[in-house]
Amino acid sequence: MAFERLIRDKRFSSEVVTVSVGALGLERPKAVVVADAHVDAAKTALILEQAHNAAVTHGNATLIHQLAVPFLGLEGENATDTRPDFAVVAPKAPNKFGEVDGSWLIVGDAKDYQRIRSRIDDGRLLKGFLQVALGAESAAAWTKLPVGMDVHGFGVLAVPRNASLSPTAVIEDLTDHREEVRMRVEERAAEVAGFPPGVDADLSAHLAHLQATYSPDGCPACDMFVYCRAELQTSTDPNDLLIELGVRPDVRPHAVGLIDGVTPVGKVANSIRQQIEATLRGTGVRSGQRRLDPIGEPGTVHVVLAKSDGAALGVYGIAVQRLTKVGAEPWTVEVFDNPDSDDTRRSIIKTLGRELNRAITEQFKASADDPAPVHLVVPDGSTADILVSIADSVAGKELSRLRWERDKKEGRPALTFNGELAVIPPRLPEKDRVAASLLLEQDRTRTMKARSTVVDLRAALASLVTVGGPAVNSLRLDYLVPWADPSEPLIDHRALAELVEKADHAVGAQLTPLQSNAIHEAFTGDAPGVPRPARPSVYDDLIRAELAYKIDIFDKAFAVLASGFGTSTLQPIVRAVEGDAQRVWRRRLDLHAFDLVRFGRTTAWWRNDSVPLLEADDKFKGQVTVMTNPRAAHDVAKDAGNRQLALARVVDIAPLTIEVDSRRIGDESRIVALHLNGEALVECDDVTVQTLKGSFKISHMPIGELTATGARPSQYTWAPHHDPGFAVGDELVIADFAWFSENKGDVWLNLVRPSVDTSSAPKPNCTHDSFGDDPANHQWCCKPHEASEAELSDIFAGRRARGELNPQVWPPVVDFDGFDVNAADETLPDPADRPAEQPPGDLTMDDLE
């Protein structure tokens, strides 16, 4: 594994040790020694003794690789050892006499966790530190730990700092993790002690009587998943079908009647009802919502990727397609011979920039004063994550280049954050910058649900139809599409799931293991050192076949959306919100002002300023959803914690009288009816929408005040301004009018138009000369990156001259930007420098992950 090999390189060993030791407040080591225990407990004990003596006597720090320590509580039991990837032995702080009388053992693991949008998932970090904690607890209990050596309370994870796999150390307090490890080990020991003798002789019989806790989305990583699922699938018990579908235990007693047709049905959310119905019928159940997405509109660019598993941002190939006012252009496919290189990432940004520039040009030709927004459409969220991460990598190099250009102008050497000579990257062309800037705009605003800069095709389709089988299966577009296509024959959810699981190809950016291995083999060949791709034609054919499958499923989903679902009355206002935001983004792009900044590099005051915007965005998105989606509105209305919506029934029409299932909506409440018998009233033909500066006005919605009848507590007369033709027995979803608007009239329903993020953004009257002519008044609006990075370069130069930066300062300063830049003499790892190897047979996925 490339990353583990890199950690053992002397250059990076020194960096991991110094960062770890410095972050823990220990003295700067006199030297760094590297040793390898080769997963041998005896060698580990010997090296620990030597490292302890070197720390106490000479003040050295030792990085030990591939340790083997007896498992906690099982020393001498011939059990599998705990195998920390590495550990650091460092001298303790001097005592009151100025002498070092002991050493610390700092346990660590190397994990090549991918950074998605510059971050490593918290769940993965937690899992990694639990493994570190197990190693620390095992080492602390080991009888061969040298006298005077203590296990430190903190642990280390060596993880990639950037896309090039350069490592950095993440430090964590292991107190809670070690306590959990001790508890789990004690639980396992007690459980093993309770097993009857000879249980391993007939394991199937032992498992058959156990009631497993099964979850279709939480259990697939377990070794028993296939066994448990097969038991459920062969069962005839209706409850087992609910378990297989992933219905929560508290809901199952209320929902079992939907399967057996005998048990009384309780309160069950519409989404679960539709999931069960789709499973039994073999066809998807439509949510009743019409389309809000911009897919199929001019100005959209479709993108599919084939990602390399060898590196966080490695890409084997890309396919793009642009939609114009006359229809879809042909797909353009590109295969990359060096999937993990910076040139490949720049090529992807160039391809997207070309298509986006053409799309923007067409939108301006259609309406120069108010051009429609542009969108990237991807098959799943992971594709969007990779594109944003690539944009961040390219943008980071461009910002670094601007700093180093300032250094060159001032006669200073171009240095990395750690003080090494840097490789100055090429300039980012303006047309390519459009793609990087738009993707980072999406990253900064990804918590704003009403934005649609990057559109997830799968999510758009999933909002319109409920599939049968476990809901987690619909996370794959090739499973979802057949349920949404009315021309498909009746579907057996188990057979379709098995077909998708066994497919040679995948829909999103990731590859199936079979295809990934085949492409890697064609790329590397069967011996190290051969030119790559080792088999060019096979390599090219495999990648094009993968992209062809992704394109085929994408086109099918696109066709189903276009032909099977109508457009919502509210789609234009959703696009208008995106258009408002992109108007500000184009000003950022034009003036190079704050347009290459990812979310993680935004300032605290910017995030604070964004809180009201996020609240307004969330409210707008929630209002649009409950107005257009009958299923979602019904589920919200039945939620006891909801204060805005309620279910109601028409009990009389002369006068119009309704019965309301709510304690919050009552006498003198003004309400608006959103849905009538499962149909969204906003989609009626007579409804119109007017776009105003601060709101959207919607006509012909039933709005009026409730008046208590006195006959029954929950019955009210209602005289709405507009009556769509209510009849006795009609089922309604109503909403508190005050949630939408403070207007006093009943003619219009107003939706507040969300404000756009204008913090650190050029004003409409800012020009290219504004900052240069008046820097004081344009410091926080249109200051270009060129000026900001030049200032930062001067600040760094001053700090370096004062000895405040690496490598002079101790403890080392952490580079929180973590830009994807490298030193001139840095030898980067090659993830494909040798043929693929199978992991050792005694390792589990937990060991590898």
**How is residue 644 written in tokens?**
């805005």
- The answer on pLDDT for 838 being more than 60 is no
Q: Has residue 653 been placed in a domain?
A: yes
> Considering 752, 776, 792, which residue would you say is the last residue of a domain?
752
* pLDDT (tens digit per residue) in 136-168: 999 999 999 999 999 999 999 988 876 666 777
What is the reported pLDDT for 5?
67
**How is residue 228 written in tokens?**
């448990």
**How is residue 128 written in tokens?**
């990694």
What is the reported pLDDT for 192?
81
**How is residue 11 written in tokens?**
């250059």
DSSP conformational letter for 467: P
Q: Are residue 21 and residue 92 in the same domain, yes or no?
A: yes
List, as own/partner pairs, every contact residues 714-719 make where C-beta atoms lie below 8 angstroms and the sequence separation is at least 24, other chains included.
Answer: 714/659, 714/660, 714/661, 715/651, 715/657, 715/658, 715/659, 715/660, 716/657, 716/658, 716/659, 716/660, 716/666, 716/667, 717/655, 717/656, 717/657, 718/656, 718/657, 718/658, 718/671, 719/655, 719/656
Q: Please answer whether residues 696 and 573 qualify as being in contact, where contact means their C-beta atoms are separated by less than 8 angstroms.
A: yes
Query: What share of residues in the chain are helix, strand, coil (percent, to 5)?
Result: 40, 15, 40
Q: Are residue 681 and residue 586 in the same domain, yes or no?
A: no
**How is residue 766 written in tokens?**
């800012």
DSSP conformational letter for 325: T
* pLDDT (tens digit per residue) in 482-520: 999 999 999 999 999 999 999 999 999 999 999 999 999
What is the reported pLDDT for 476?
95
Query: What's the average model confidence in pLDDT over 695-716?
Result: 94
Q: Please answer whether residues 694 and 742 qualify as being in contact, where contact means their C-beta atoms are separated by less than 8 angstroms.
A: no
Q: Has residue 575 been placed in a domain?
A: yes
- The answer on pLDDT for 784 being more than 80 is yes
Q: Are residue 629 and residue 709 in the same domain, yes or no?
A: yes
What is the reported pLDDT for 227?
86
Q: Please answer whether residues 385 and 116 qualify as being in contact, where contact means their C-beta atoms are separated by less than 8 angstroms.
A: yes
- Report how far apart, in Å, the C-alpha atoms of 346 and of each of 251, 343, 504, 828 are: 50, 5, 29, 18
Nearest Cα residue to 496 out of 470, 526, 530: 470
Partners of 657 in beta bridges: 652, 717
**How is residue 772 written in tokens?**
């240069």
What gap in Å lies between CA 520 and CA 36, rounded to an integer?
29
Q: Please answer whether residues 509 and 383 qualify as being in contact, where contact means their C-beta atoms are separated by less than 8 angstroms.
A: yes
Sign of CA dihedral 555, 559, 560, 565: positive
Torsion of CA 269, 272, 277, 282, to 10 degrees: 160
Q: Are residue 515 and residue 501 in the same domain, yes or no?
A: yes
Query: What's the average model confidence in pLDDT over 446-450?
Result: 91
Q: Calculate the average pLDDT of the chain.
A: 91
Residues 6+ apart with CB under 8 A from 279: 241, 245, 468, 469, 493
Q: How many domains does the chain have?
A: 4
Cis upstream peptide for 811 (omega within 30°): yes
> Considering 163, 189, 215, which residue would you say is the last residue of a domain?
189
What gap in Å lies between CA 81 and CA 64, rounded to an integer?
16
Q: Please answer whether residues 774 and 782 qualify as being in contact, where contact means their C-beta atoms are separated by less than 8 angstroms.
A: no
Sign of CA dihedral 161, 428, 329, 562: positive
Count how many residues are written for the chain: 849
Per-residue confidence band for 18, with pLDDT thresholds at 50, 70 and 90 = confident
Q: Are residue 579 and residue 549 in the same domain, yes or no?
A: no
The C-alpha angle with vertex 60 and arms to 57 and 62, in degrees rounded to 5, equals 120
Q: Please answer whether residues 410 and 329 qualify as being in contact, where contact means their C-beta atoms are separated by less than 8 angstroms.
A: no
Q: Are residue 18 and residue 157 in the same domain, yes or no?
A: yes
What gap in Å lies between CA 200 and CA 26, rounded to an integer?
49
What is the reported pLDDT for 621?
97
- Report how far apart, in Å, the C-alpha atoms of 798 and of each of 377, 784, 793, 817 are: 45, 22, 9, 19
Q: Please answer whether residues 699 and 658 qualify as being in contact, where contact means their C-beta atoms are separated by less than 8 angstroms.
A: no
- Sequential DSSP letters for 612-664: HHHHHHHHHHHHHHHHH-HHHHHHHHH-TT-SSEEEEEEEEETTEEEEE--SS
Q: Has residue 812 been placed in a domain?
A: no
Of 713 and 750, the structure prediction assigns the larger pLDDT to 750
Q: Please answer whether residues 256 and 263 qualify as being in contact, where contact means their C-beta atoms are separated by less than 8 angstroms.
A: yes
Query: What's the average model confidence in pLDDT over 300-327?
Result: 93
What gap in Å lies between CA 356 and CA 298, rounded to an integer?
11
* pLDDT (tens digit per residue) in 586-610: 999 999 999 999 888 888 888 898 9
% of the chain residues with pLDDT over 90: 76
- The answer on pLDDT for 847 being more than 80 is no
Query: What's the average model confidence in pLDDT over 617-621?
Result: 96
Q: Has residue 343 been placed in a domain?
A: yes
How many Cα atoms within 13 Å fall on the side-chain side of residue 433? Answer: 21
Q: Are residue 20 and residue 135 in the same domain, yes or no?
A: yes
- Report how far apart, in Å, the C-alpha atoms of 434 and of each of 355, 431, 690, 789, 817 are: 10, 6, 32, 19, 22
Classify the phi-psi angles of 72: left when phi > 0, otherwise alpha if psi is within -120 to 50, otherwise beta: beta
What domain range is 148 assigned to? 2-189
- Sequence-ordered alpha helix ranges (H) in 730-848: 737-740, 770-773, 785-801, 845-848
What is the reported pLDDT for 843?
57
What is the reported pLDDT for 372?
96
**Residue type for 773, please?**
D
What is the reported pLDDT for 537?
97
Q: Has residue 558 been placed in a domain?
A: yes
Per-residue confidence band for 833, with pLDDT thresholds at 50, 70 and 90 = low
Residues 6+ apart with CB under 8 A from 213: none
What gap in Å lies between CA 365 and CA 604, rounded to an integer?
39
What is the reported pLDDT for 769?
96
Residues 6+ apart with CB under 8 A from 618: 449
Q: Has residue 782 been placed in a domain?
A: no
Q: Are residue 533 and residue 582 in the same domain, yes or no?
A: no
Per-residue confidence band for 766, with pLDDT thresholds at 50, 70 and 90 = very high
The C-alpha angle with vertex 646 and arms to 709 and 450, in degrees rounded to 5, equals 140
Q: Are residue 413 and residue 502 in the same domain, yes or no?
A: no
Partners of 171 in beta bridges: 156
Per-residue confidence band for 849, with pLDDT thresholds at 50, 70 and 90 = low
**Residue type for 53, please?**
N
Q: Has residue 824 been placed in a domain?
A: no
* pLDDT (tens digit per residue) in 213-271: 888 988 888 888 888 899 899 999 999 999 999 999 999 999 999 999 999 999 899 99
What gap in Å lies between CA 271 and CA 258, rounded to an integer?
13
What is the reported pLDDT for 713?
87
Quickly tell me which residue has 């083997």 as its tokens: 68
Element housing 521 (H / E): helix 513-524
What is the reported pLDDT for 485?
94
Torsion of CA 625, 626, 628, 633, to 10 degrees: 120
Query: What's the average model confidence in pLDDT over 396-424?
Result: 94
What gap in Å lies between CA 474 and CA 287, rounded to an integer?
15
Cis upstream peptide for 196 (omega within 30°): no
Q: Please answer whether residues 3 and 65 qualify as being in contact, where contact means their C-beta atoms are separated by less than 8 angstroms.
A: no
* pLDDT (tens digit per residue) in 36-74: 999 999 999 999 999 999 999 999 999 999 999 999 999
Per-residue confidence band for 846, with pLDDT thresholds at 50, 70 and 90 = low
Lowest mean pLDDT among 56-65, 186-195, 559-568: 186-195
- The answer on pLDDT for 779 being more than 90 is yes
Q: Has residue 506 been placed in a domain?
A: yes
> Considering 189, 222, 248, which residue would you say is the last residue of a domain?
189
What gap in Å lies between CA 462 and CA 456, rounded to an integer?
10
Q: Are residue 335 and residue 418 in the same domain, yes or no?
A: yes
What is the reported pLDDT for 819?
76
What is the reported pLDDT for 829?
58
Q: Are residue 588 and residue 723 in the same domain, yes or no?
A: no
- The answer on pLDDT for 12 being more than 80 is no
Q: Are residue 359 and residue 482 in the same domain, yes or no?
A: no
* Prediction pTM value: 0.92
